[in-house]
Amino acid sequence: MTDLAIRVENLSKRYRIDLVQERPDTFRDMIVSKFQQIRNRLSHQEKSRYDNPSFIWALNDVSFTVERGQVLGIVGRNGAGKSTLLKILSRVTNPTEGLGEIHGRVGSLLEVGTGFHPELSGRENIYLNGAILGMRREEIDRKFDEIVDFSEVGKFIDTPVKRFSSGMYLRLAFAVAAHLEPEILVVDEVLAVGDAEFQRKCLGKMNDVAQEGRTVLFVSHNMSAILRLTQETIVLDQGKIALRAPTPEAVDYYLNLGLSKEGERTWAPEEIVDKNRSFQPIALRVLNNQGKVVDTVNASEGFSIEFEYGLSEAISGLRVGLYMMTTRGEFVFTTFDTDDPQMYEAYSVRPAGRYISRCKIPPDLLNEGRFVLGVNASTYRIKRYFQDDKVLTFNVDATGAPGTHWPEQRLGAIRPSLDWAIKKTK
Amino acid sequence: MDSTRQKNAQAPITYLRPSKGWLSIDFKELWRYRELIFFLTWRDIKVRYKQAVLGVAWAILQPLLTMVIFSVIFGNLLRTPSEGIPYPLFSLTALLPWQLFASALQRTSISLVGNSNLITKVYFPRLAIPLSSIFAALVDFGVSFVVLLGVMIYYQYWPTWNTLWLIPMVLLTLLTALAVGLWFSALNVQYRDVQQMVPFIIQAWMYASPIVYSISIIPEGIWRLLYGLNPMVGVIQGFRWVLLGTEQPDITMLISSGVVLILLISGLYYFRRMEKTFADIV
């Protein structure tokens, strides 16, 4: 009992959907809704809370305990309730129902750089950010040099952070957060950003924290990081705990049971602003080599990306293409469906109709990590019909990729299988 | 909750539970977060003057320029009576507490929405945000007070021991701004109409306070008492009394203080009640 770090019982969180969708209320809305409430009350229309369609349960009856010193992973697709859970645990928001108890100070890395002000210098931001995260001034004084060292911003420490590169900014932000010494550390997706070197550093720091016997809750889409850092993992689905198991089992469950149904973005007709447009995007999908829509693909198996769209009139010279970027925003490649001159000849004019342009990504091309897909439909130098640089993100799992017999992180966005020859010359 | 378990663990235990109704104010916790309030105040001041060439000089120029405009229009052109005091000094004595109030109220009202990135990510007592806005306004006031001293000396008015009365007056100004600001900032989280309304409210409030004119034009009796419902009336009257030796604040001061007290307590409770949902709706 004494070794408990977190205990939550029947935790639930309800959001009003209209609040989720359209934020800014106005006095008019308030007055209208008050009248509706009165009318409902008069006609006894008050429904049971659970089937009221204007509420969603982001978290529904979640109970678990975490022991001191444990590193617990939390996985689940977007909207499964991960962020809500972390927000409740870090006291940003209150549960609608249920109870929780937390033993010790909670440090949250819900997003590094919270409260950073672009006009202030690195030094000033360290103090400000430290105070926001709950550090005392003398604590920051004491760790100041260590933080600067860790961040590697060195002589730029007195420059306003708006002049920092995104990498420096991130390193500084993480450095402050990493030197907070809470009993419980809550980490959400920090590792999704930054270069490999930075990620390696973050993982190292988290390992240290865990070694020191502190409790870590680690939420990530990066399965290999989850596997590396945690022994036990909770799988959340639709606000409930679907499974709590040793990490390899939980990750398998998450990847295989079709829980990760993301990997698809569809456009509703209302989303197209200009109704007279001749090009309408319909869907972008990431497919594994069994043709299933997936959020995570295996690098060594190969996969495909398909873009479905409609043309309301014939377009000549159309090219439909994909951008692939890292989550840091670096382009990995750009490709068009008519890159091949023969294809360009064959599809010089595309008549009105519905199309799918599918691109096969060969095995052993991408490194593990998260990638961003963008689409573009245009005619060269004449017209751009549609462009969206950030349509969806997906994961690449490196199991079985070249060199994975060394369980280390590889630098670079791609991890191709290349021909090596070794010759003894003497 | 139960004390036996608390004894077992060395670390402090935090309980998470649904928020219900009115919560009392945890002053102890607020005190523990005093450094955060300090840093937020410091950030507000620093950032405001960061890219201004004249920097903090603006805190001096603003009241000074307003004083010049008022003196020309109300003093020279309209010949507004000023109880025998040179009009520039007469208006500046009122402008100072007024600008303190106006800027404190303005900043407080939008403070929660302006710091939504903090509110949605980190826990701390939410009161720290409006409080730091109030303190940031106080720093400006401190700077512009030097101008007032200069103008006083120019017109041969010397500070006396009575000047110390300014401390409770300034406090009353801050509490008034805080009381109204708590209501506005919490309402603004849900209804952004508030931030559109605030500039008008401040403008109307200014003309409802004896800044460009003297309180003596308000008839004694019931009208004067009603006028005292505006807390800034007591404050401005007090400033003039202390610095210029005009008529001492009467019953209006008492009424003003009472109004502030009611607004402050209700504001605090409203703020605390809404606090738990800020992160969900901001």
Beta bridge partners of residue A75, listed in sequence order: A235
What is d(CA A328, CA B141) in angstroms, rounded to the nearest whole number? 45
B37 closest CA partner among B127, B143, B137, B112? B127
Domain ranges of chain B: 25-46+54-271
* pLDDT tens digits, one per residue of A210-225: 778 888 898 877 777 7
Using CB atoms within 10 A of its CB, is residue A173 exposed (0-12), middle (13-18) or buried (19+)?
buried
Q: CA of A166: how far to CAs of A172, A202, A333, A409, A413, in Å?
A: 10, 16, 21, 21, 18
- pLDDT band at residue A81, thresholds of 50, 70 and 90? confident
Whether pLDDT at B266 is above 80: yes
- Are residues A15 and A55 in contact, defined by beta-carbon separation less than 8 angstroms? yes
What is d(CA A416, CA A393) in angstroms, rounded to the nearest whole number? 21
- Are residues B185 and A17 in contact, defined by beta-carbon separation less than 8 angstroms? no
* pLDDT tens digits, one per residue of B192-223: 888 889 999 999 999 999 888 888 888 887 88
What is d(CA A214, CA A347) in angstroms, rounded to the nearest whole number? 61
- Determine whether the interchain pair B281/A23 forms a contact, defined as Cβ–Cβ distance below 8 Å: yes
Structure tokens at A339: 């890159």
**Which range has the worst mean pLDDT, A54-68, B52-66, B83-97?**
B52-66
Whether pLDDT at A249 is above 70: yes
CB within 8 A of A358, min separation 6: which ones? A304, A305, A306, A307
Q: Which residues of B touch A136 (CB under 8 A)?
A: 35
CB within 8 A of A32, min separation 6: which ones? none
Whether pLDDT at A52 is above 90: no
Whether pLDDT at A271 is above 80: no
Residues 17-56 of chain B whose Cβ lies under 8 A from any Cβ of chain A: 17-19, 35-36, 38-40, 42-43, 46-47, 50-51
What is d(CA A189, CA A113) in angstroms, rounded to the nearest whole number? 13
Distance to chain A for B257, nearest Cα, Å: 30
**Mutation test of the interface with chain A: which of B3, B10, B14, B45, choosing the one with the most A Cβ atoms within 10 A?**
B14
pLDDT for position B8: 40
Whether pLDDT at B53 is above 80: no
Cα separation of the two ends of chain A: 66
pLDDT for position A248: 86
Using CB atoms within 10 A of its CB, is residue A124 exposed (0-12), middle (13-18) or buried (19+)?
buried
Whether pLDDT at A100 is above 60: yes
Q: What is the mean predicted confidence (pLDDT) over B126-134?
A: 93
- Determine whether the interchain pair A131/B36 forms a contact, defined as Cβ–Cβ distance below 8 Å: yes
**Closest residue to B17, CB basis, from A89, A99, A106:** A99
* pLDDT tens digits, one per residue of A20-37: 433 445 566 666 666 666
Out of A241-245, B24-28, B146-150, the most confident range is A241-245
Three-state DSSP class for A375? strand
- pLDDT band at residue A365, thresholds of 50, 70 and 90? very high
Distance to chain B for A304, nearest Cα, Å: 37
Q: What is the mean predicted confidence (pLDDT) over A258-280?
A: 67
Out of A48-57, A218-227, A369-378, the most confident range is A369-378
Complex-level ipTM beyond the 0.90 threshold: no
pLDDT for position A37: 61
Whether pLDDT at B181 is above 90: yes
* pLDDT tens digits, one per residue of A101-138: 998 888 877 667 777 888 889 999 999 988 888 888 89
Q: Is A225 on the interface with B (CB under 8 A)?
A: no
Structure tokens at A113: 């750089």
Q: What is the mean predicted confidence (pLDDT) over A272-293?
A: 81
Whether pLDDT at B72 is above 50: yes
Q: CA of A56: how far to CAs of A10, A16, A183, B48, in Å?
A: 16, 6, 32, 41
Listed as own residue / partner, the contacts of B201-210 with beta carbons closer than 8 Å and 24 or more positions apart are: B202/B102, B202/B105, B202/B106, B205/B102, B205/B230, B205/B232, B206/B98, B206/B102, B209/B94, B209/B98, B209/B233, B209/B236, B210/B94, B210/B236, B210/B237
**Mutation test of the interface with chain B: which of A23, A92, A114, A120, choosing the one with the most B Cβ atoms within 10 A?**
A92
Mean pLDDT of chain A: 81
Quickly list DSSP for A228-276.
HH-SEEEEEETTEEEEEEEHHHHHHHHHHTT----SEEE--GGG-S-TT
Whether pLDDT at A333 is above 80: yes
Whether pLDDT at A40 is above 70: no
Structure tokens at B130: 């409006």
pTM for the model stands at 0.69
Q: Is A104 on the interface with B (CB under 8 A)?
A: yes
- Are residues A285 and A392 in contact, defined by beta-carbon separation less than 8 angstroms? no
Q: Is B191 on the interface with A (CB under 8 A)?
A: yes
Q: Is B122 on the interface with A (CB under 8 A)?
A: yes
**Closest residue to B18, CB basis, from A95, A104, A160:** A95
Percent of chain B with pLDDT strictly greater than 90 = 29
Mean pLDDT of chain B: 85
What is d(CA A368, CA A359) in angstroms, rounded to the nearest whole number? 19
Q: What is the mean predicted confidence (pLDDT) over B237-250?
A: 82
Q: What is the mean predicted confidence (pLDDT) over A244-273?
A: 72
Q: What is the mean predicted confidence (pLDDT) over B243-263?
A: 83
Whether pLDDT at A185 is above 90: no
pLDDT for position B143: 87
Q: Is B2 on the interface with A (CB under 8 A)?
A: no
pLDDT for position A19: 45
**Closest residue to B16, CB basis, from A19, A94, A104:** A94
CB within 8 A of B194, min separation 6: which ones? B109, B184, B187, B188
Amino acid at B199: P
User: Would you tell me how many other CB atoms lie within 10 Å of the CB of residue B54?
Assistant: 10
Three-state DSSP class for A310? strand
Amino acid at A50: Y
Whether pLDDT at A265 is above 50: yes
Cα torsion at A161, A164, A165, A167 (round to 10°)?
Answer: -60
